[in-house]
Amino acid sequence: MNIQWYPGHMTKAKRMMQENIKLVDLILELVDARIPFSSRNPDIDELGRQKARIILLNKCDLADEDKTALWSAYFKKQGFQAVQVNSRSGLGLKAIHGAVQEACKEKIERDRRRGILNRPIRAMVAGIPNVGKSTFINSFAGRACAKTGNKPGVTRGAQWVRLNKQVELLDTPGLLWPRFEDPKAGLRLAMIGSVKDEVLNTEELSLELLEFLRTDYPGVLAGRYGIRETEDTFSMLSQIAENRGCLLKGGELNLGKAVGILLEEFRSGKLGRFTLEVPKEEN
């Protein structure tokens, strides 16, 4: 399944990030804890190579805890600060303040030597669509100051948010890259909902998801849907439709409805906590 999706406003978003990167001291890069590698935009690496960086493993409540720990260790080995967060509940947000001070200690010391005291650290919040940037900013700031949504591409323009005297945040639009070099990256992004379902073959996507789950998390599908995981994935999807009462007039199975149920329950965490990839050194 080959997935490519690059809306026109992404070009504008990249240009906006290029223009604003010189204004900040730090990049807070949100990644989805379920796919920490596939949800990292290489353009952000290129644009922010001279800036301090903190990797925020967002939506950690939806990810496999053991694998999230592996990713935290991996990023730290790469020289990045790494913090596990759940923007909706506020989990991990307090730890970010200390991470910001640590990541910017050279800048703070440089300012001090120049006699510049209490100048706020300016941080850019960056990441791909639907990774939770606006929800993170709202939670971190303690008020609704950025638009939020559960669909990719809600934030279209950059906006500054003053957290306190120490930190100012620059929210930026979600940024995908023009072409996924690794087809699996596009597939994983589609599975978690970072690519609009409207441009996907969701039935094919659901079959890929079923294959992943029965291979990497055996027993989960059988436990949730009462299906036989030894059969082919199309038969498994048909069983989900039958067991969940997804029927059309005349008793025909409504596979489209079953696809919607599977994807929604996977993405929302109702099906369980999953991570779709591990650091390369752990493969």
Could you tell me which residue, 92 or 44, shows the higher pLDDT?
A: 92
Domain identity same for 148 and 64: yes
Domain identity same for 52 and 150: yes
How many whole angstroms separate alpha carbon 63 and alpha carbon 271?
A: 11
How would you list the strands of the sheet with 81-84, edge to edge? 81-84, 52-58, 26-32, 121-126, 167-171, 159-162
Helices and strands per DSSP (H, E), number in the chain: 11, 6
How many whole angstroms separate alpha carbon 182 and alpha carbon 199?
A: 19
Return the minimum-mean-pLDDT range out of 27-36, 191-200, 224-233, 256-265: 191-200
Concatenating the DSSP letter of every residue in 182-198 gives SHHHHHHHHHHTSS-GG
- Is residue 125 included in any domain, yes or no? yes
Average pLDDT over the chain, rounded to an integer: 87
CB 236 within 8 A of CB 215: no
pLDDT, one tens digit per residue, over 137-189 is 889 888 656 544 454 443 445 678 888 788 888 877 766 655 566 778 889 99
Domain identity same for 20 and 85: yes
pLDDT, one tens digit per residue, over 251-275 is 999 999 999 999 999 999 999 999 9
Domain identity same for 32 and 127: yes
* Residue 270 belongs to domain with CATH number: 1.10.1580.10
pLDDT of the residue at 210: 98
Residue-number span of the structural domain to which 162 is assigned:
9-171
CB 30 within 8 A of CB 82: no
Domain identity same for 25 and 99: yes
Considering its fold, how many domains does the chain have in total?
2
Return the minimum-mean-pLDDT range out of 153-167, 201-215, 235-249: 153-167
